[in-house]
Structure 1
Amino acid sequence: MLPHSWRSAAAAITVLWLATLAAAGMIFLSQTLLARRLGPSDYGLFASSLATVSMLAPLAGFGLSQFRLKAYGSEGWSAERWLRPALRFSLLSTMLAWLLLAAWAWFAPGIDAATRTALWALLPVVVGLLAVDLVGSKLRLEERHGALAAWQLLMPGGRLLVAMLAFAAVSVSATAVALGYGLVAALVAMLAAPQLWAMWRGRIDLKGHGPRPEAASALDIPSVAQLSAQAWAYGLAAVLYPIFFQISTVLLKYLGSDAQAGHYGVALAIMTAVYLLPATIYQKFLLSRLHRWAAHDQPKFWRVYRLGNRCMAAAGAAIGLALAALAPWLVPALFGSAYAGVAAVLMVLALCTPIRFLSTSVGSVLLTAQHMRYRVLAMLAATAAAVALNAAAVPHYGELGAAWATVIAESLLLLSMWLGARRVMAKAVIA
């Protein structure tokens, strides 16, 4: 018989994993329907526009949800002092993200009218993703795994509905799909409003830190500048990740063609679904606990770290092999003969699966305390490498060049995460 704590953890992970599978299925089906309905060129226009918005969207909030998990993990109930500056910080950073996206839509070189319209239609996605992120952090702190599982299905569920309507329509364009995605994001933000209001009013059922103090001492309310100084590393990491992940699709559009971006976007959609597994375990289940254990239970922190590395390496290798083996017949069967060339791209990207799974677990050490600075520098170096490698490979080798550039960049990121984790572990052993 397993201990009660283990049974509770297994039940929570199962709920989140089932929701992740459902979300992965929705994402996969959405991309399949849109790719078939729009064709490589229009789908490439839509996918590259969505990738552009996804790269700029993390500027809204700029790591606020990740910082909140760290603050509550180390300060407990006293972290409520950050709530007021967090509201102002969210508003200012969201306005900045909108302005930058609008500037890109108007002034970026090579943007045609259809792409500009799609970018404008996707503006609400910035607020929608911020709302998903902030409510998700609240639910993780409250350890409401069922609610978190349901919450993470809203955005992919709404997008699937848009894709189904587009597939059934007599005529549809990339712009119409972008408008649908924007509407879904706006509705998700509206649904998030009550939870966000409760959070900023201090109504949170924090777990792992005992009951709320009945007579809390007066809290020193930080300024927005102080919050920015604390959260910048988390924000920069949040901004760098989508650039690192999406830059290939964007550069394929501007250095290649919409059709090339469409082919790569299909492969990337499949990889996005695969990467939901480590993201669910570490971002949705373990992250708030890792912050707490790093501050208050170091032995448990390191036990979980070692076990996670072994499990992620094994799972990543198994899934990567299966993906490479199935790609030659899976892609044409699902997306049609127009995307047959995507199979070769997917077989290359399958190499990233064990690399990404392991870098997620290894990098979990660097999500805490002062180690975030190293993590940001590692991500910055890997992102710069991804941009440079894609810029060099895409004009000559198209989608396959982008895929190999991604494999190299993912390997560099894993190597830097591993070196950083070794340094942190060595200091922990000495201490």
Structure 2
Amino acid sequence: MSTPQNSRSINLLLGKLAPFLKLGAASGGAALLAFLTQTLLARSLGPDDFGRFSAGLSLVTIMAPLACFGIGSFWLSVFGKEGWGAERWLGASLTYVRLSAGLVLAALAVWALYGPHDSTTTLVILVLLIFVLSQIVMELVGVLFQLEENYSAFALWQVLPHAIRIGLLALLLLLPVFAADLHSALAAFFLAAAAILVVGFALMRRRLSGQLALKGHGERPSTASFAPLKARLADVVRASMPFGLGGFAYLVYTQLNVVLVKYLGSDADAAYYAIAFMVMNAFLLLPNMAFEKILVPRIHRWYHQDLPRLKQVLRLSAGLVLVTSALGIAVLWLSADLIARFFFGAGSAPLAGALLILMWSIPLRSLSLCFGSVLFVGRFIKLRLWIVLITLFVDIALCMVLIPNAATSDGASAAAMAMVCAEAVMCLLFLAGMRYAIRHGERAA
């Protein structure tokens, strides 16, 4: 029979787990909707148009982070340190985003008009320029929800664009009154991005006009007693640049091996490695969600306000990710052959071999996410950037040595070995960086 004390304990536990459950469901739902979207497009457009559409979408997706170049991570950092005083950075930050977005859109438009491709690809890129703007709004609104620790809204915000997109695609591609062609697909993506822009701007305007429900810093001071000096554009560029460079370098680090194994090995090697990397990333959903979405605003705040609590959370988190990583390794160890045969049938041995190597990245990447989360704080982002660059250099060097010397059809395993070694280097450097940051404080950075 439950007692009031047991009920309170259960409610407290559910309250702590709620953000993980909400964002876990949202991440899973978004991944499922994205898969259904790609399936619907591939079946409706055919190989040629689907290839043009995918290439154009990949291009604008890669360029979109440059348009926001570190502002989202910078906001999380500066609000964790300054609390309500960080509102002084908002005006200049938005000016910076407008300028960087303009440059990215101009570069994409020039490439669309003058790049070495046909007129259909030009149309695809030009129509999808709005996707860059919607991604900017997605990131900034998501950061504002994180600062409010409003995980219900944040979870819904992650799923919303996928739901709108597949709904419009189903309408324009499946109903007989519309043509199931590339133009219908572009129209669906354009309208979905436009809808996100309208909703996102409304959410941003409300929060950036004095209605932000900032969590962990008390009530907003009255205007009469609270007039912080406004930051200049140059201050924002200087402060956010390490966040932008660090995020872009990490993106390159995680995606580069697919390119390297293609050009140093073969197209088949690239396919095997890409699938192995995708499967491995599925086991990193939980630590990614925890350290990049749920805990990150709290880590910034705890670092400046409650360092003992931060140490306790990091120790607990490291133990939990090791346990979950061990389970992931066990699952892949038992199912690698089955997964490989599912994708490539009889010719699946190289994929299985790459999976059995790359699975050791799961605990290393999970611990890196844990340790490296502290290095998003303040000036330590520069230390984080150097660690990512060093790891990137190690990975490239190992790929250039291992892949060309690998046996036939074994380039994927060579790339996996390079990645595991690089992940070990990153994990150790992030551990040393985290210990330095906690021991010496931000003033030492």
Q: Which residue of 2 aligns with 1:141?
A: 147
Shift of 1:142: 1.2
What letter is aligned with 2:221?
P
Shift of 1:150: 0.8
CA distance in 2, matches of 1:33, 1:339: 27
Q: 1:299 aligns with which of 308, 324, 327?
A: 308
1:275 equivalent to 2:284? Answer yes
Alignment of 1:155-166 (within 5 A): 155-158=161-164
The 8 Å contact of residues 324 and 347 in structure 1, kept in 2 or not, is answered as yes
1:194 equivalent to 2:207? Answer no
The 8 Å contact of residues 266 and 411 in structure 2, kept in 1 or not, is answered as no
The 8 Å contact of residues 26 and 160 in structure 1, kept in 2 or not, is answered as yes
Q: Deviations over 1:52-97 (max 9, x none)?
A: 4443321112111111112221211111111111110110111222
Relative distance call for 1:53 and 1:274 in structure 2 (3 A) is farther
Q: Which residue of 2 aligns with 1:87?
A: 94
Q: Which residue of 1 aligns with 2:424?
A: 411
Q: Which residue of 2 aligns with 1:320?
A: 329
The 8 Å contact of residues 61 and 90 in structure 1, kept in 2 or not, is answered as yes
Q: Which residue of 1 aligns with 2:3?
A: none
Q: 2:240 aligns with which of 211, 231, 239?
A: 231
Q: 2:158 aligns with which of 152, 159, 165?
A: 152
What letter is aligned with 2:431?
W
The 8 Å contact of residues 44 and 181 in structure 2, kept in 1 or not, is answered as no
Relative distance call for 1:419 and 1:310 in structure 2 (3 A) is same
**Larger relative contact order, structure 1 or 2 (CA cutoff 8 Å, min sep 6):** 1
Q: Deviations over 1:382-416 (max 9, x none)?
A: 23444455566667755444433333333332222
Alignment of 1:86-235 (within 5 A): 86-102=93-109, 112-113=117-118, 119-120=125-126, 122-158=128-164, 181=189, 184-214=192-222, 215-235=224-244
Relative distance call for 1:133 and 1:393 in structure 2 (3 A) is farther
The 8 Å contact of residues 124 and 186 in structure 2, kept in 1 or not, is answered as yes
CA distance in 2, matches of 1:164, 1:263: 31
Relative distance call for 1:290 and 1:313 in structure 2 (3 A) is same
The 8 Å contact of residues 47 and 265 in structure 1, kept in 2 or not, is answered as no
What letter is aligned with 2:86?
A
What letter is aligned with 2:319?
R
Q: Which residue of 2 aligns with 1:60?
A: 67
What letter is aligned with 1:408?
C
Q: CA RMSD in A?
A: 3.9
Q: Which residue of 2 aligns with 1:355?
A: 364
Q: Deviations over 1:145-200 (max 9, x none)?
A: 11111111123445655887899799988998677556544432332111122233
Q: What's the TM-score once normalised by structure 2's chain length?
A: 0.80
Q: Deviations over 1:177-236 (max 9, x none)?
A: 677556544432332111122233232111211111123332211111111111111111
Question: Which one has a bigger Cα radius of gyration?
Answer: 2
SS at match of 1:201: helix
Relative distance call for 1:241 and 1:264 in structure 2 (3 A) is same
Q: What's the TM-score once normalised by structure 1's chain length?
A: 0.83
Relative distance call for 1:320 and 1:416 in structure 2 (3 A) is same
Identity among equivalent positions (%) equals: 33
Relative distance call for 1:188 and 1:367 in structure 2 (3 A) is same
The 8 Å contact of residues 44 and 253 in structure 1, kept in 2 or not, is answered as no
Q: 1:368 aligns with which of 377, 400, 411?
A: 377
CA distance in 1, matches of 2:123, 2:260: 19
CA distance in 2, matches of 1:182, 1:345: 38
Runs of at least 5 residues in structure 2 that lack an aligned partner in the other structure: 1-5
The 8 Å contact of residues 54 and 242 in structure 1, kept in 2 or not, is answered as no
CA distance in 2, matches of 1:151, 1:251: 35
1:16 equivalent to 2:34? Answer no
What letter is aligned with 1:371?
F
What letter is aligned with 2:338?
W
CA distance in 1, matches of 2:129, 2:25: 30
The 8 Å contact of residues 44 and 263 in structure 1, kept in 2 or not, is answered as no
SS at match of 1:60: helix
